[in-house]
């Protein structure tokens, strides 16, 4: 199973930027992949949602690691 670090490394190598872990969590939530509730989360809304331009890159990483 791929970790957030693995996904970050893949995106950095393929697309040239390091995605934030909150972006990965947002995309996983959008894709219907179960995620755990972060202990430091203050409410149901995301403070840093993934920018729509970055979503396909993170989705590609999730597909590469057979998460979706």
Q: Is residue 43 part of a domain?
A: no
Instruction: Please indicate, yes or no, if residue 42 is contained in any of the structural domains.
Output: no
Domain of residue 59, residue span: 1-34+49-68
41 domain-assigned:
no
Domain for residue 60, yes or no?
Answer: yes
Q: For position 18, what pLDDT does the model report? A: 97
Domain membership flag for residue 40: no
Question: What total number of domains does the chain contain?
Answer: 1
pLDDT of residue 11: 97
| Dihedral, CA of residue 9, residue 32, residue 29 and residue 66, to nearest 10 | 0
Mean pLDDT, all residues of the chain: 92
Quick check: is 21 in a domain? Answer: yes
Residue 7 lies in a domain: yes
Q: How far is CA 1 from the centre of its chain?
A: 14
């Amino acid at each position: 199973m791929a970790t957030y670090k693995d996904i970050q490394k893949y995106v950095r190598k393929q697309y040239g930027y390091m995605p934030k872990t909150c972006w990965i969590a947002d995309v996983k939530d959008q894709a219907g992949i179960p995620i755990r509730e972060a202990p430091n989360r203050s409410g149901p809304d995301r403070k840093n949602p993934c920018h729509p331009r970055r979503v396909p890159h993170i989705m590609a990483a999730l597909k590469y690691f057979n998460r979706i």
